[in-house]
Structure 1
Amino acid sequence: MNTRHRTVGWMPVAAVLTLVVVLLIAVGTGSLPGKAEGHPEDSGREVGKKVDVLPYYSKSGYDLTRLSPERIAEIAETLTPEQRRITQEAGTEAPFCGNLTDNLQPGIYVSVVGGLPLFKSTGKFISKSGWASFFEPFDPDHIIEREDGTHGMARVEILDARSGAHLGHVFDDGPPPTGKRYCVNSAALHFVPEGEELPPESRPVALETAYFAGGCFWGIEDKLAKIEGVVEAESGYQGGEADAPDYRLVCSGTSGHAETVRVVFDSNRVSYWKLLGAFFSMHDPTTANRQGPDVGSQYRSAIFTTSTEQADAARTFIRDLETSGRFGDRPIVTKVEDAPEFYAAEEYHQDYYVRRGGSCGY
């Protein structure tokens, strides 16, 4: 695509010839992002982003799990020949011909392959380059950037993170505050005007939140974060009286807070019941105010629930666990309470084992 802006009005002959040459080079670029070797998971060509092949989620709550080749082929059959050429064969539409190039109507731009939201109207500007231009994406996680050395040019290609569909390229000649220009083919986008309901595939996942306290939060967080369907696990403090507690206050045992892990999860991929099972396998629920060498009320076993359904499930799980004989005659002391305010722990507590290595010994 053209990497320069041009002014409105007449164009000198030299400028026209330059534009034609650039267009001929850009049209029909060779990479095939719809195929396995061209999907964003081809990390050898990515720029500054790692993509996991397992289910994963964006910060804005979207499921970015890779669409299967069969699903992509199915969607491609519903597209126009031009949309297929651009998204599946890394083609480029003619400049100033895209139906969204100059669109400034409020709304959201989603991928024509899978419906992932890619850009907002608030991030769009008229660049005069001939293609739809944006200075920031809907969510950085929704865009894959990878090096593109085709036709002897050093460019950065952008693709839909869910399907690998080709969108266009990104350049460093955009406006503040990002200085970026995401140069996008209109044919790769579907525009949803503000006020119009987003289709199901363009909506964020309906996430739930759960809270578990079972000793040192480093180990609980580390293990819960690795469960498929868990979007986020965060260490913090809960169930005490002091406002905005810090680690020193909680460790003193005077604030009444328990070291707790907040878990955000996709109930379509992991059930609350499964999280309960994992939680009870991670600690000893029969020791009051203690886990191994860690002693104090901050290390108590507790489940803080966010709904009646969670509370009923937690109490049922505990009853089943007690009758199972797993812990012999020792009673389970885990408390089930309505979730009070959660205070995130200091940054150095987050992802402790990921950053420092090791794991919880329980």
Structure 2
Amino acid sequence: MSNTISKPENPYYSNTDTSKLNVSNAEWKKILSPDLYAVAREADTERAFTGTMWNDETKGTYYCATCGYKLFESNQKFTSSCGWPSFFEQENKESIVFKLDKSYGMIRTEALCGRCDSHLGHLFNDGPEPTGKRYCMNAISLDFVPNVDPKKSSTSLATITLGGGCYWCVEAVYDNLKGVQSVVSGYAGGRTKNPSYEEVCSGTTGHAEVVQITYDPTQTNTDEIFKVFFTVHDPTTLNRQGADVGTQYRSVIFYTNEKEKQEAKNVIAALQSAQVYDSPVVTTIEPLTQFYKAEEYHQDYYNNNKNQPYCKMVIQPKIEKFEKLFKKRLKNQN
């Protein structure tokens, strides 16, 4: 079925079942990620301008991230300066229910999923015509599925290029992320054309070791890719990752258009504002002028050299950290 999403790890999730759910918070806590649980079941509020959903104009359908209930269509959405995804109308009168909220010394109208009663956000009377309403939603409470053009025989793929130290490490992590079609190790950001590994290692070319990630936007997105990126490497150490030192090991996001550039700026600003790290983030944001594929023996290096000391001591711990934190997003999860 088009324009739907599947979550095998969540037995209550369905884009077609409209029957009312009565599930305990204890049960939801076993199923939902900690961040989603905090918002959906404890009425937490995520930081404004989180991700890109608040100003994304892609056409599609918005579902409850907890139970899969259809909440909004993109033609009911508008870009609000508040920094949260905003809608002027709900899908139908049952899709969202309301409750008086007197928390934090304010009187507000809480918006809840009509199927599972999970917290979505709040309803305000300062929206655009024709309703004058503003459904102010937490992005994490929503699943978005873009419309599929039936005339297209295959999904359009997207690419992004990142540098987070040795490309062997970064490639090995993203190879296991659901939605990623391929990861190619290479070089970018320097002056030398068609550089060799030895030239890049000299630190004189200006190139960084990078990976170019090709992914299916219907299965993952830049928000998740950035989240993985800033989890598995240290963005606060200038021109180094552990024992790997030099400008070729710098933390860098390469963009190909203004949208990607702004997304990168937003995620770094959010990390700084939330003081996620004890030291400032030094990740650079640079235009991608040319990507050069690395030598063949660098491709899929970890899988081909798992018994090498570097793979065991440096790469394997990064993979284990990724698998622990993103266990529900691994390719081998059914």
Q: Report the TM-score when normalising by structure 2.
A: 0.48
Q: Report the TM-score when normalising by structure 1.
A: 0.44
Computing the radius of gyration from Cα coordinates, the structure with the larger value is 1
